[in-house]
Structure 1
Amino acid sequence: MLEKVLLSTDVALVCVQHALSTEKEEIMGLLIGEVHNNGALVSIVSSVILRRLDKKPDRVEISEEQLVQATLRAEELAAEVDRPLRVVGWYHSHPHITVWPSHVDLATQSMYQRMDSSFVGIIFAVFLTEQSTKAPSVQITCFQSINGSNQTRREIDMEIRNSSNALLSNNFQILTQLPAILKEEEDEAYSNEVGQNYLEEDIINKQHNAAVRTIAIGHIVEKMSRPMLEGLVARNAVNNVRLKALKKHHQDLMSRLENCM
């Protein structure tokens, strides 16, 4: 029985950024990792961001094709790092509502668990306000479903740990793919609207749809791409400071070693 989940810091960052991309509909993705101790421990080291099939405020769906693609990606990563990686879970967001899974979430989780008893679900509740401080907050829960006449949740202990260096580049690429995936969703929504055989003289509808698409893409740039770039620049600056300190420490150690010889 699954007892604990270890979540990579970079994967947590990707999931939170994805969850904060929209406060009107839920988002969803799959989690890649390893199963240890006969299913008692799951370590999550990467993720797959999914394009939404349907934008709904209270649920998300995944196609079988997306699940197959995620499985293939897990196999590719496993070959790259020589580790037995596979799809071990899924995540989705709860914008403006409680972090606890709904009956739909529990049913979805139960379906996955029938295929893999170690499969886990993680929910990121975003756009919440801390009552005491009135500050924005993000809540996270990790759960499985308990089958029975009335499905209930079983909370799983989760710990966020530093990322593996072997997958650092992969997780960085996933993070930077997020704005492009969101743009693809908007392009698809726009194409579906204009593809409904509007008449030549239906200029108002055409202009309205084009304006909605432009606003949506502007939102992606303003709320996702720019803050992400600023965050990555700041992270790079911190890493450079750490690198400089490590080099100085290395020089000091080498000097001490030479003096001892």
Structure 2
Amino acid sequence: MFRQLNKVVLSADVYAVCIQHALSTEKEEIMGLLIGEVDDSNISYISAGLILHRSEKKSDRVEISAEQLCMASTHAEQLAEKLGRPMRVLGWYHSHPHITVWPSHVDLRTQAMYQIMDPLFVGLIFSVFLSENNVGNQVQLTCFQATDNYERRDVNIVIEKVPLRDYNLKNICELPKILIQEEVEIHNTKCSKNDDILVNIHNEAFKTLSLSHLITKISQPICEDLEARLEVTNLRIKELEKMLIELKRKSDEDKI
């Protein structure tokens, strides 16, 4: 019998990782894997994400290699050991920059292939930089599986409010490093050393420009966001400390 997911519960911090990753570029699709656990009711609880390194950038297609799946499985095992509960790769996510959120026929065939390995495997698509009805840069999310005849089956998804946990925070912090590695590797592959010194200077200048753009548009905003989160957290800690002092004072008065 064909097993189907009944629902997906996506942790808010994983959602933040996916959104941060999807908004990192509006020219190519990005991709990553989703990690968590599934209960006996076929409800998937996604509590960690893994940003994948792209060997090639494309505007309309992404692929996950067998090596990346093995790496993600190892990462899931490490998380399981750390958290003391079973964790495995439950699904994948990718972006649709400037186009609708609905999966393409390629997405559905890719999803169907993953479901051969795991019938409860799920796909998430984040549509970003989409303008509709005079509203710019909308973000849309769909959660789906593929049927036997490669049609879309929508899966109910709920975003669960949780704090930003350390392993997902680390994932966000790794994003600029991964993007820089991708840029350098692609530059080194496509722009091999040339006998013409002016060509080499031109290519190196474009690489430097691309890396500067990543720092300005990705690294700096992430740092500013994390600093703002830290400031809010510190303020909350001070408020809780004041509440604790007040509760102790009232407790001491009641004893008297």
TM-score range, shorter chain: over 0.9
Structure 2 Cα separation of the partners of residues 120 and 212 of structure 1: 38
Work out whether 1:18 is the aligned partner of 2:15: no
Contact 1:54-1:61 within 8 A present in 2 as well: no
Q: Which amino acid aligns with 1:56?
A: K
Q: Which amino acid aligns with 2:187?
A: Y
What TM-score, normalized to structure 2? 0.94
State the partner residue of 2:172: 175
Work out whether 1:240 is the aligned partner of 2:234: yes
State the partner residue of 1:8: 11
How far does residue 164 in structure 1 lie from its aligned partner after superposition? 6.1
Contact 2:34-2:89 within 8 A present in 1 as well: yes
Map Cα deviations across residues 105-124 of structure 1 (whole Å, 9 max, x no partner). Answer: 00111011111111110011
How far does residue 130 in structure 1 lie from its aligned partner after superposition? 4.3
Query: Secondary structure at the residue paired with 2:179?
Result: helix
What TM-score, normalized to structure 1? 0.92
How far does residue 223 in structure 1 lie from its aligned partner after superposition? 0.9
State the partner residue of 1:142: 143
Map Cα deviations across residues 129-184 of structure 1 (whole Å, 9 max, x no partner). Answer: 2425x242211111111112xx211111111112367xx11111110000000000
Q: Which amino acid aligns with 1:41?
A: I
Q: Which amino acid aligns with 2:109?
A: A
How high is the sequence identity, in percent, across the aligned residues? 49
State the partner residue of 1:154: 153
Structure 1 Cα separation of the partners of residues 133 and 197 of structure 2: 47
How far does residue 41 in structure 1 lie from its aligned partner after superposition? 0.5
The total of aligned residue pairs comes to 252
Query: Secondary structure at the residue paired with 1:212?
Result: helix
Which region of structure 1 is more displaced relative to structure 2, 210-219 or 60-69?
A: 210-219
Structure 2 Cα separation of the partners of residues 107 and 204 of structure 1: 46
State the partner residue of 1:213: 207
- Note the residue ranges of structure 1 that are not aligned, 5 or more in a row: none
State the partner residue of 2:104: 102
Contact 2:56-2:186 within 8 A present in 1 as well: no
Contact 2:31-2:94 within 8 A present in 1 as well: yes
Map Cα deviations across residues 67-90 of structure 1 (whole Å, 9 max, x no partner). Answer: 100100000000001010110010
The 5 Å alignment of 1:49-60 reads 49-60=51-62
State the partner residue of 1:31: 34
Query: Secondary structure at the residue paired with 1:37?
Result: coil
Structure 1 Cα separation of the partners of residues 245 and 153 of structure 2: 51
State the partner residue of 2:43: 41
RMSD across aligned C-alpha pairs, in angstroms? Answer: 1.4
Q: Which amino acid aligns with 2:158?
A: E
The 5 Å alignment of 1:40-119 reads 40-119=42-121
Structure 2 Cα separation of the partners of residues 257 and 37 of structure 1: 45
- Note the residue ranges of structure 2 that are not aligned, 5 or more in a row: none
Structure 1 Cα separation of the partners of residues 151 and 57 of structure 2: 26
How far does residue 213 in structure 1 lie from its aligned partner after superposition? 1.1
Structure 1 Cα separation of the partners of residues 163 and 113 of structure 2: 30
Structure 2 Cα separation of the partners of residues 172 and 100 of structure 1: 29
Which region of structure 1 is more displaced relative to structure 2, 154-163 or 250-259?
A: 250-259
Q: Which amino acid aligns with 1:72?
A: T
